[in-house]
Each structure stands twice: as structure tokens, then as C-alpha cells.
């Protein structure tokens, strides 16, 4: 075990709002072992930025990690050449050009359908009825699993997320995760012959064309679903909430002084949908006065780094005018989020402008609770508009 100082947390309070605890850790124990998580946490931005790149020490290869055990070894759980080869194989799906020329028009069409159907109702839940569906429809296209409903896409994504953060070892959570991965495998089996006959730019098709092993193809599809559904969903709903609760910031976007992309980037810094990334210590190492031993578990706390007082002027405030350049919302090293271009397009170029344009007078219609620390977002968000 590392020689880091021990820092106790209240797991329930940490899930409801990790930021006060993370702020205290940055000030008093920036690298600390948290027994409730059985991991050593890095909480300062520069420490995370520097050490995430040291893949020979802080390895993504975690054979006994929950993600690998439950979902298979995807490219996020590989380093070096193995990681690079699979990242290269999927690039034709998620390149800036493919996002612009292939996916954006599909995102627009699906989002228009969602909002057109909901508009006459005058009210909905932004998370469940709008953001979840927009995200799910986009992910169906990108993965190639167009035979899956958006509701099932969200269910299997959440099931895997719950499984991968099931550090308490709840058997019911694990069983639900296995049910979700089995559903994905069935949908993959159905689509493989379809895409063999008619290839396209989807993740399943591109990986099949590249010749990747079947196990890698399936693991990477599950990775895309586990990260490509809940994070855009939470970001879409979260940015809408942030703008509605900061009307002066919304006015800057609507007046053209700021952009939807700036709103998204600032929100992702301020309330990071991806709060942390785990690593396995591969060799004995010392940093920041702490000695790590092989097989120690480390959490790089992106959400904490994005509120580091030493880096950001107003870390605890949603303010689009501040510099978000140092943000590590999408990661920092070789595992920088492969879906970043698609996420920016879906959220900033399509979902946000269409939501505010097509739902006039959009306003909150009830309380908006948030939850999570590894993955964080609004749990429910009742809204109303002028139908």
C-alpha cells in the first residue's frame, strides 16, 4: 500500500457532492489514501496532468479491475502499442472529418425529431425525456447498434457504469451489469451480418473492417456505450441547468458574446461528468513525498483537478469568461477521450442550440438534484416551456 496519508470520507455525502471534500483534500492531503474507496487519490490538477502520462508507472492495464472483469479488456485498459493500435483502428469513426461529414447531420435529424415530438407537451424531464434520448439516438448511430432502442442504450450504459463503480461488491449490481453486457452482445450479433453486407462508418463496422479480434471489438463497443451515453446525457442536461440558473451567462450566448461550445467546456470543467480515472501501479515509484508499491490502486480525480484553486481564477463558479484551457475534463495523457470531437459536436453544435431554439421560454419546473463522483450529473430535471 502507498505511504500516502489516510483521509476518511463519508461515502454517501461524497456521492451527493464530492467537491467540499475534494477541496479539503487539495489543501491538506493532495495525495491521500481513502480507505472507503481502497485507493490513493490525486486531487491537484498539475499532479494529475503530470502523472497520468507516466503509463510505465500508473498503468491503465488492470486485469483485475471491475471494467476489465465485467466488460472485457477494451482499449482504455491498454497502454502503449496495444492501446495505440486499437485507437488507430477506431479513428475512422470518431475523426473530426467523420463527425463533421457523417454524424452531425444524423445528430441534427434525431434531435429535431425528439424536440418536435415533445414541443406540444409544454413540459418534460430534461434528463430522462430529452438529454437521455438525444444521447441514445446519437450513440446508436456511432456504435452501429441501430437495432437497439434509445431506452435500452441508456439502460445498458447505466448498468455498466454501476458495475464499474461497484467497489462495495454488491452482487445485485454485478448481476445487473452482466445482464446489460449480454444485451449488447446480442445486439452486436444481430448487426454483424448486416454491416458485413453493407459497411459504414460506425464503430462496429470500422472495427470489423480493421480485422480486430472479436473480443476487442465487443469490449470497445461496451466502452463506447458506457462512456458515450451517460456523459453526453449528463452534460446536455447539466449545461441547460447551468445556463437557466445563470441567466446572465445564457444571455451572453444568445447575444453572441459567448458560444455554446464555451458554455459546454466551462460546465465540463466546473461539474465534470467524468470525475475520475483509475490506474494500477505497475512498479515502485515515489512522487509528491508518497511512495507507491506495485498493484496499488490510484484514482486521478479529474473533477477535483478542474476546481484547483492554484490553476483556475474562480474554480467553484460557473463562469464562461474564465480560461478553461487547463481543464482536464477529457483527460490529459494518451487516454485523452477518443470521443471528444463527437461530444463537442453533439452537445455544443446540435443539442444546446436546438433545445433553446425549439423550446421557447424554457425554464426549470422543480428541484434538480445531482449525484455521483466517478460520474456526475443531474438525476432529474423537470422543465417547462411555452408550447
Mean pLDDT of 78-91: 84
User: Distance between the two ends of the chain, CA-based, in angstroms?
Assistant: 59
> Mind listing the pLDDT tens digit for each residue in 11-30?
999 999 999 999 999 999 99
Tens digits of residue pLDDT in 175-223: 999 999 999 999 999 999 999 999 999 999 999 999 999 999 999 999 9
Q: pLDDT digits over 93-144, tens only?
A: 999 999 999 999 999 999 999 999 999 999 999 999 999 999 999 999 999 9
The pLDDT of residue 81 = 82
The pLDDT of residue 319: 97
> If we measure between CA atoms, which residue out of 177, 167, 170, 135 comes closest to residue 153?
135
- pLDDT tens digits, one per residue of 269-306: 999 999 999 999 999 999 999 999 999 999 999 999 99
Residue 216: per-residue pLDDT: 93
Q: At what angle do helices 230-245 and 214-228 cross, to 10 degrees?
A: 10
Question: What is the bridge-based pairing of β-strands 31-34 and 58-59?
Answer: unpaired
Which pLDDT score, from 0 to 100, does residue 41 have? 98
Q: In the structure, what pLDDT confidence band is assigned to residue 267 with cuts at 50, 70 and 90?
A: very high
Q: What are the start-end ranges of the E strands in the chain?
A: 31-34, 39-42, 58-59, 123-125, 277-281, 285-287, 290-292, 297-300, 363-364, 370-371, 377-378, 382-384
pTM recorded for the entire structure? 0.93
Closest CA to 1 of 288, 289, 298, 279: 298
Q: Given this model, what pLDDT does residue 241 score?
A: 98
What mean pLDDT, rounded, does the chain reach? 94
CB 322 within 8 A of CB 266: yes
pLDDT of 1 reads 84
* Residue 39, φ and ψ in degrees, nearest 5: -150, 155
Domains and CATH numbers, the chain: 11-384 (1.10.630.10)
Three cell numbers, residue 257: 458574446
Under 8 Å between Cβ of 82 and 89: no
The confidence score (pLDDT) of residue 166 equals 81
More confident residue, 73 or 34: 34
Q: What is the pLDDT of residues 217-253, one digit of tens each?
A: 999 999 999 888 889 999 999 999 999 999 999 999 9
What percent of the chain shows pLDDT beyond 70? 100
Amino acid at each position: 500500500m502507498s505511504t500516502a496519508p489516510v483521509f476518511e470520507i463519508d461515502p454517501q455525502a461524497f456521492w451527493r457532492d464530492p467537491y467540499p471534500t475534494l477541496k479539503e483534500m487539495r489543501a491538506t492531503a493532495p495525495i491521500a489514501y481513502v480507505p472507503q474507496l481502497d485507493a490513493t487519490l490525486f486531487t491537484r490538477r498539475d499532479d494529475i496532468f503530470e502523472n497520468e502520462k507516466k503509463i510505465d508507472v500508473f498503468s491503465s492495464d488492470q486485469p483485475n479491475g471491475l471494467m476489465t472483469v465485467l466488460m472485457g479488456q477494451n482499449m482504455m485498459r491498454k497502454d502503449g502499442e496495444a492501446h495505440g493500435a486499437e485507437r488507430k483502428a477506431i479513428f475512422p469513426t470518431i475523426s473530426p472529418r467523420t463527425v463533421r461529414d457523417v454524424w452531425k447531420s444524423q445528430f441534427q435529424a434525431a434531435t429535431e425529431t425528439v424536440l418536435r415530438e415533445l414541443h406540444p407537451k409544454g413540459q418534460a424531464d430534461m434528463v430522462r425525456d430529452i438529454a437521455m434520448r438525444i444521447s441514445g439516438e446519437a450513440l446508436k448511430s456511432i456504435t452501429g447498434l441501430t437495432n437497439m432502442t434509445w431506452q435500452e442504450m441508456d439502460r445498458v450504459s447505466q448498468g455498466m457504469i454501476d458495475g464499474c463503480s461497484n467497489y462495495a461488491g454488491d452482487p445485485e449490481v454485478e448481476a445487473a451489469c452482466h445482464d446489460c453486457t449480454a444485451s449488447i452482445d446480442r445486439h452486436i450479433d444481430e448487426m454483424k451480418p448486416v454491416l458485413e453486407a453493407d459497411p459504414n462508418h460506425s464503430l462496429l463496422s470500422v472495427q470489423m473492417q480493421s480485422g480486430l479480434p472479436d473480443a476487442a471489438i465487443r469490449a470497445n463497443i461496451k466502452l463506447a456505450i458506457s462512456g458515450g451515453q451517460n456523459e453526453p446525457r449528463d452534460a446536455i442536461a447539466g449545461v441547460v441547468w447551468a445556463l437557466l440558473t445563470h441567466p446572465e451567462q445564457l444571455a451572453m450566448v444568445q447575444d453572441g458574446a459567448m458560444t455554446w461550445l464555451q458554455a459546454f467546456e466551462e460546465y465540463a470543467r466546473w461539474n465534470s461528468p467524468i470525475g475520475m480515472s483509475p490506474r494500477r501501479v505497475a512498479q515502485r515509484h515515489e512522487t509528491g513525498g508518497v511512495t507507491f508499491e506495485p498493484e496499488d490502486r490510484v484514482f486521478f480525480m479529474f473533477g477535483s483537478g478542474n476546481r484547483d484553486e492554484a490553476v483556475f481564477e474562480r474554480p467553484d463558479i460557473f463562469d464562461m469568461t474564465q480560461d478553461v484551457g487547463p481543464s482536464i475534463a477529457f483527460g490529459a495523457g494518451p487516454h485523452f477521450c477518443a470521443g471528444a470531437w463527437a461530444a463537442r459536436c453533439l452537445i455544443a453544435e446540435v443539442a444546446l442550440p436546438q433545445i433553446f431554439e425549439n423550446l421557447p421560454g424554457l425554464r426549470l419546473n422543480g428541484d434538480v438534484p445531482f449525484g455521483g463522483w466517478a460520474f456526475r450529473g443531474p438525476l432529474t430535471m423537470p422543465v417547462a416551456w411555452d408550447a
